[in-house]
Amino acid sequence: MKLLILATLLGLSLAQFNPNTRDGKTAIVHLFEWRWADIAAECERYLGPNGFGGVQISPPSESIVVTNPWHPWWQRYQPIGYNLCSRSGNENDLRDMITRCNNVGVNIYVDAVINHMCGAGGGSGTHSSCGSYFDANRKDFPTVPYSNLDFNDGKCNTGSGNIENYQDINQVRNCRLVGLLDLALEKDYVRGKVADFMNKLIDMGVAGFRVDACKHMWPGDLSAVYGRLNNLNTKWFSSGSRPFIFQEVIDLGGEPITSGEYTGIGRVTEFKYGARLGNIIRKWNGEKLSYLKNWGEGWGFMSSDKALVFVDNHDNQRGHGAGGASIVTFWDARLYKMAVAFMLAHPYGFTRVMSSYRWDRNIVNGQDTNDWQGPPSNGDGSTKPVPINPDSTCGDGWVCEHRWRQIKNMVAFRNIVNGQAFSNWWDNGSNQIAFSRGNKGFLVINNDDWELNDTLNTGLPGGTYCDVISGQKESGRCSGKEVVVGGDGRASFRISNQEEDPFIAIHADSKL
Ligand SMILES: *[C@@H]1O[C@H](CO)[C@@H](O)[C@H](O)[C@H]1NC(C)=O
Ligand SMILES: *[C@@H]1O[C@H](CO)[C@@H](O)[C@H](O)[C@H]1NC(C)=O
């Protein structure tokens, strides 16, 4: 009996590591702050056809509306209830988007904010995304409802009520994160409300959750909530499928709370990945691409099957959260494309591509004074649609990194090489590297300040391949560079350090 229970628990928790992507697809994209109607259209016209496995959406739950500063992006990380209306759209828009994305094989992952409600200074009134009344001073959120009995303050031992010292585990989990009212997830009632919210979304058809601020919740409480979640909707997923869980835990080392406390109950965001990769791509502190030879667990990262990886995310691309100045973003497009290509070619972790909007970046003494700015908006603060230009880029301040040819084609590369071994590593002891994924794909990068001119073993069958970075295979010919692989698997490469994209990628489907 005991064994049976153990097996059941283990079975449940193991399933939460599976992203449930259709057809073995291997990467998702975070469409940060997009409207539901635009995501639905993007699934149908672009993400489905180009092999994207899913979309991480911004928090759909009812949040506070902040007007000073003017509609910042972080207002959505301050829930006042679990009604499903936000600046991305209402519940009908959300349901329509989930349905349409699922129908073209693209999963939806919800950013779930369950650690806290709005800030203690959030005031009272109906300044919320569905117009529901709340009173932050009295910790009264009638739309859930939560009352002052449902918060952790009694357990917090700091003078301010906020987290003051990250070396104190109890503070980090029982006190307020930057003043946000901290929910008492130990309470059965609170767990029930959170699970009801997540289950409603599961029943609508979502495939899983990015769980916000997990470092600030006790793993045991999270495990209890996850245990209450329904199986996925069998209209799109096989019977018994568990929701994919990936937990935001910022662990760069140096704190008592580690990712390892959470990897038993779901995947975890590996923040070391982007921070360290940024150092290497920027060649800071003498770091080199050749050091990537043992990338992954060899660098002290969590095990690959527990990791959710990314080059940048919505927080650290604007200096929030963790990672610091080394993080590469679309603002450093040349380095960024190289970093994302490396991530998508390398087998470590489950990969997430970032899709951003521009803001008026203004860095003063290392701080971006406009890091709060919300998405491209109309005068009244409502989010603008994402217009698609004739050349397939996005307009109106939406960056759409996922539509950059180099990134879009590397998502396809990752799908094609899925399951293939990391092999045929080569480096020049400096910043020129290459590797294959079995006999299905090959990537070579030159981040040195001089030309790469070498004959390398690609591991691929002989033939002529289209480089999918400078172009791609189009109606039986290459729109960019061609690579001729000999019968022995070897090919000569010349990559000038002056090129906009000093890297080449070829794969089984780019063969002529
Ligand atoms: C790196 O690459 C270049 C050209 O491929 C080569 O000449 C050089 O010796 C290599 N090694 C180092 C340490 O730079
Ligand atoms: C590139 O390498 C080949 C073969 O080693 C050599 O013949 C050629 O001169 C090199 N080209 C340059 C520009 O160094």
- For 467-507, give the DSSP string: -TTT--EETTEESS-EEEE-TTSEEEEEE-TTSSS-EEEEE
Mutate to test the pocket of ligand 1, among 283, 290, 428 (most ligand atoms within 8 A of CB): 428
Number of structural domains found in the chain? 2
Q: How far is the CA of 454 from the centre of ligand 1 (A)?
A: 10
Question: Would you say residue 22 lies in a domain?
Answer: no
pLDDT value for 8: 47
Question: Would you say residue 90 lies in a domain?
Answer: yes
- Residue that terminates a domain, selected from 238, 269, 300: 269
Question: Would you say residue 386 lies in a domain?
Answer: no
Question: Would you say residue 387 lies in a domain?
Answer: no
Does residue 248 carry a catalytic annotation? yes
Task: Return the CATH number at 214.
Answer: 3.20.20.80
Full residue range of the structural domain in which residue 63 is found? 55-269
The share of the chain scoring above pLDDT 70, in percent, equals: 96
Beta strand spans in 120-265 (E): 124-125, 134-135, 180-182, 208-211, 244-247
Cα-based distances in Å from 227 to 12, 191, 208, 347: 8, 10, 13, 30
Interior angle at CA 364, CA 358 and CA 365, nearest 5: 135
Question: Would you say residue 202 lies in a domain?
Answer: yes
Helix (H, G, I), strand (E, B) or coil at 227: helix
pLDDT in tens, 48-91: 999 999 999 999 999 999 999 999 999 999 999 999 999 999 99
pTM for this one?
A: 0.96
Written as six digits, the tokens of 254 are: 């140096």
pLDDT value for 14: 53
Considering 212, 261, 287, 312, which one is annotated as catalytic?
212
pLDDT value for 15: 66
CB-based contacts of 489-492 (< 8 A; 24+ apart in sequence): 489/457, 489/458, 489/459, 489/460, 489/461, 489/462, 490/455, 490/456, 490/457, 490/458, 491/455, 491/456, 491/458, 492/453, 492/454, 492/455, 492/456
Does residue 270 carry a catalytic annotation? no
Supply the residue whose CA is at minimum distance from atom 2 of ligand 1: 428
Supply the residue whose CA is at minimum distance from atom 6 of ligand 1: 428
CA-429 nearest atom, ligand 1: 13
Question: Would you say residue 363 lies in a domain?
Answer: no
Residue 2 pLDDT class (50, 70, 90 cuts): very low
158 C-beta closer than 6 A to ligand 1: no
Question: How far apart are the two ends of the chain, measured CA to CA in Å?
Answer: 58
430 C-beta closer than 6 A to ligand 1: yes
170 C-beta closer than 6 A to ligand 1: no
Q: How far is the CA of 425 from the centre of ligand 2 (A)?
A: 21
Chain CA centroid to CA 154, Å: 34
Do the beta carbons of residue 118 and residue 64 sit within 8 Å?
yes
Do the beta carbons of residue 320 and residue 77 sit within 8 Å?
no
pLDDT value for 298: 97
Nearest partner of 214 among 255, 247, 176, 167, judged by Cα: 247
Residue 328's Cβ-side half-sphere holds a number of Cα atoms within 13 Å equal to 26
Question: Would you say residue 250 lies in a domain?
Answer: yes
The pLDDT mean for the chain works out to 96
Answer whether residue 3 shows pLDDT above 90. no
- Residue that terminates a domain, selected from 269, 296, 329: 269
Q: How far is the CA of 440 from the centre of ligand 1 (A)?
A: 27
Do the beta carbons of residue 114 and residue 59 sit within 8 Å?
no
Task: Return the CATH number at 487.
Answer: 2.60.40.1180
Question: Would you say residue 165 lies in a domain?
Answer: yes
- Residue that terminates a domain, selected from 216, 249, 269: 269
